[in-house]
Structure 1
Amino acid sequence: MKRVLLRGAQVITMAAHRPDAELVDVLVEDDQIAAIGEGLGETGAEVVDVTGRIVMPGLVNAHLHTWQTALLGVGANWTLADYLGRMHGAVARHYRPEDMRIGTLAGALSQLDRGTTTLGDWCHNTPTSEHTDAAVEGLRASGIRGVFLHGTPYSAADLAHPVSEVDRLLDGRTGTHALLTFGMAVRGPQLSTPDVAVTDFRAAAERGVVVSTHQSGGAPGPGWEAVRDAGLLSPGTNVVHGAGLTDEWIRTLVDAGASITCTPENELGQGHGSPVTGELLRLGAAPSLGTDTDAVAPGDVLSAARIALAHQRGRDHDHHRRETGAFSLTATITAKQALAWATVEGARALGLDGHVGRLEAGLQADLLVIDSAPRLVPTHDPIAVALYSTPGDIEAVMVAGQWRKRDHALVDVDLEAVRARLWESADHLLPRLADWR
């Protein structure tokens, strides 16, 4: 049995029954958290002194297209129409299996470096089994905890999801891994006929996997009514963006236990619509968070949390000003709520609640250590320091009891080889942007 004892840090557990932050030890045994408390014994444990640091649950990026990593930043000025035309209309069809592998690997490593321990990898460029397997291999090789959401290239609205590929993944024919689970990334009710939407949602329900779908840029169509009427909305349903959904529809999803993942920087910048944070909060629910695509927006989940928080606070101030003539005198949302969106809510959206998202005995040992850099001192409020930290402040990252980052550097990875292959992929893909019309 491998034992690691983290000692001396302010610990944010995100557990409902514990204080916001506390000076306690964290004992890890193999891949699980064994105990959290004061003065834990160190018999047989490697003692790691984290005095002055903050230890908290690993972040959860619930929605990212890692296959697009080689095109980092090329879409910084793209609208949603640009993205759909250039990425999916022009470049996607030129991807080779190796481009899928290296993009996924590099994207997942980038997430680990930023403190993300669980990734919802929404992979919708899998024209062949070879492309799928290459993407899965990249995710597996990174060492991140991944939920691989199998999607397909954009196609006819009456074409059902290829469930044989999903079954192949679930049967382990691509190789099993303790950190990897699978779900379905379907075109969904907005982009499919009602019959196909029902067929795809039912296929996910029969297999007991998360089904995730985009919804933005317009009002929900008849496919949503068909899925609802078939009784297929459930806690296994994940809606990305949610922009365009009416208050009634959001209530329907919340009542069914479904989750909504907001990608605030991407949504505001590209034209998806405003994040539906406030609409969820009014119903006693909350969003999970994603960063969508490195081609368009930074992949930092804490930045997404801060943007979502500031955007909704601004909306609330505006509403209060219209009602009373002055801004609100009290904060409508707390920093801890925003931190929960990037941890607890992300785990729930990906079907991993009870495994990750909090630090509790019996849960997986997925955590990060925030440095005690001068810019983070004095630590009057550990929750605020955690929320407002940057990727450069992430000193260490652990996934399932294994260090994936120590002393501000990723471990057990040949970064030079990854960079070289990623540049080769970029050199192949970037010229294809000219094919867009």
Structure 2
Amino acid sequence: MIHILLRGAQVITMAPHRPDTEHADILIDDDTIAAVGENLDPTGADIIDVTGRIIMPGLVNAHLHTWQTALRGVGTDWTLMDYLGRMHGAAARHYRPEDMHIGTLAGALSQLDRGTTTVGDWCHNTPTPEHTDAAFDGLRASGVRGVFLHGTPYSAADATHPVGEIDRLSGGPLLTIGMAVRGPQLSTPDTAVADFRAAAERGLVVSMHQSGGEPGPGWAAVRDAGLLSPRTNIVHGAGLTDDWFKTLVDAGATLTSTPENELGQGHGFPVTGHLLRLGAAPSLGTDTDAITPADVLSAARIALAHQRGHDHEHHRQTTGSFSHTATITAKQALAWATVEGARALGLADRVGRLEPGMQADLIVLDAPAPNPIATALHATAADIEAVMIAGRWRKRDHTLLDVDLGTIRAQLHESAAHLLPHFPG
């Protein structure tokens, strides 16, 4: 049985009833946080001195296609149309199960190294059960906490999700299953309703992309069927109207922004402001390593700066001057990468905050500073000294544990060498 006392750090709990930061001990029993407070009883515990460090909840990357990791950076200058044509229209068809496995494994480990303890892995290159199993096994082998969002290659708008593939998958202590559907924007109304109903019957998170214009007729069909709920997750959200944002927020649905990808590829502007005006907030993702860096804190900083820029410009147009106070705080941006990500993936009762009864998913930053919140938001992988998931260390002393990086790199290079010739010139 694990019994650990972390002592001496500045702690960011992200719990609503606690200070922004505090000096506190964290007591961990097995996979769970037992207590957070000053001078906790260390009897029987393995005491770890983390003086001068910052401890905060593990980050949550709510939208990522890990299967594309071997092609890191290949599409940095692509537009959205380039990505759809070159990745999905060409290269994706040449993926072997082993490519799915190593991409997913390496992508998840890259997230761990950056302080991400939970991943929403949107896996939509599953032409065969073997491809699905290889990706799922890669995610499980990484040791990350994850929601494996089973998707499908792009196909006809009236093709319903293959629920048999969902039903045969079995999660575990760290992995849960969700559905990555084409959604109302890319499906016929009847198909969208059927997919939402299948997810609801199974109690699963159902996630979908929304961009490329105003909402299609499938959205109204899903709404009228009463299928919008807190387990509905919309990625991007570009093109939604104010009325639709209100409808979704009122239903408890979540929206995930991938701001660097959205701004660079042409999805549309991040939906941060729309949500904040309704008293809601986005979760964050990095989308794909093939296009943008796999760093959810970078996504948080970009989303924060982008929305502050909009707010300053609005203030300038109405008053003649930029805003004299910050319209959004750094702590709010941290919440998007922790609390809101957990909510988007249906895990708000387990991760995203450091509180008794929550899972012991946390990160240790070796970056002391007068403002721990800002230091955490500005952290890079080099600042992440340690990562714990369910009470087990996955990274210590700036090094991933129990990982054969040499073998993984070699397999990743082999996968890239196989896939790159299949891109159109």
The answer, yes or no, to whether TM exceeds 0.5 is yes
2:26 paired with 1:36: no
1:429 paired to 2:419: yes
For the pair 1:243 / 2:238, whether they are aligned, the reply is yes
Q: 2:298 matched to which residue of 1? A: 303
Identity %: 78
Picking from 278, 281, 287, the partner of 2:282 is 287
Normalized against structure 2, the TM-score is what? 0.99
**Alignment counterpart, residue 359 of structure 1, candidates 339, 354, 358:** 354
Gaps (5+ residues) in structure 1? none
Flag structure 2 segments of 5+ consecutive residues without an equivalent: none
Alignment of 1:53-68 (within 5 A): 53-68=53-68
Q: In the alignment, which residue of structure 2 is the partner of 1:396?
A: 386
Structure 1 residues 13-32: aligned runs within 5 Å: 13-32=13-32
Give 2:124's aligned residue: 124
- What is the CA–CA distance in structure 2 between the aligned matches of 1:96 and 1:130, rounded to whole Å? 9
User: Are 2:335 and 1:345 aligned?
Assistant: no
Q: Alpha carbon RMSD of aligned pairs, Å?
A: 0.7
Say which SS state the counterpart of residue 132 (structure 1) adopts.
Answer: helix
**For residues 316-331 of structure 1, what are the structure 2 equivalents within 5 Å?**
316-331=311-326
Give 2:230's aligned amino acid.
Answer: P
Aligned to 1:408: 398
Letter in 1 for 2:345: L
Q: Distance in 1 between matches of 2:51 and 2:259?
A: 34
Quote the Cα distance in structure 2 between the aligned partners of 1:226 and 1:426: 41
Residue identity matched to 2:394: R
Shift of 1:43: 1.6
- Say yes or no: does 1:383 pair with 2:373: yes
Equivalent position of 1:73 in the other structure: 73
Stretches (4+) displaced over 4 A: none
- Given the two structures, how large is their TM-score scaled by the length of structure 1? 0.96
Distance in 2 (alpha carbons) for counterparts of 1:225 and 1:37? 48
Distance 1:408 1:177 in 2: 27
For residue 196 of structure 1, report the CA deviation from its aligned partner.
0.3
Q: Distance between the aligned counterparts of 1:235 and 1:24, measured in 2? A: 33
Q: Distance in 1 between matches of 2:410 and 2:172?
A: 26
Alignment of 1:226-241 (within 5 A): 226-241=221-236
Q: What do the CA deviations read for 1:176-233 (whole angstroms, capped 9, x no partner)? A: 4210000000000010011100000010001000000000121111010111111110
Q: Deviations over 1:19-38 (max 9, x none)?
A: 00000100111100011111
What's the secondary structure of 1:293's corresponding residue? Answer: coil
Secondary structure, aligned partner of 2:167: helix
Counterpart-to-counterpart distance in 2, 1:2 and 1:368: 17
- Measured in 1, the distance between the counterparts of 2:57 and 2:377 equals 12
Q: Does residue 266 of structure 2 align to residue 276 of structure 1?
A: no
Once residues 415 and 47 of structure 1 are traced to their aligned partners in structure 2, the CA distance between those partners, rounded to angstroms, is 29
1:394 is displaced (CA, Å) by 0.5
Distance in 1, Cα, partners of 2:373 & 2:294: 21
2:54 aligned partner, one-letter code = I
What are the Cα deviations for residues 227-255 of structure 1, in whole angstroms up to 9, with x where unaligned? 11111100000000001101110110000
Taking the TM superposition and a 5 Å limit, the aligned residue runs for 1:188-199 are 188-199=183-194
| Matched AA of 1:416 | G
Secondary structure at the residue paired with 1:425? helix
Partner of 2:176: 181
Residues 406-425 of structure 1, C-alpha deviations (whole Å, 9 max, x = no match): 00010011111111111110
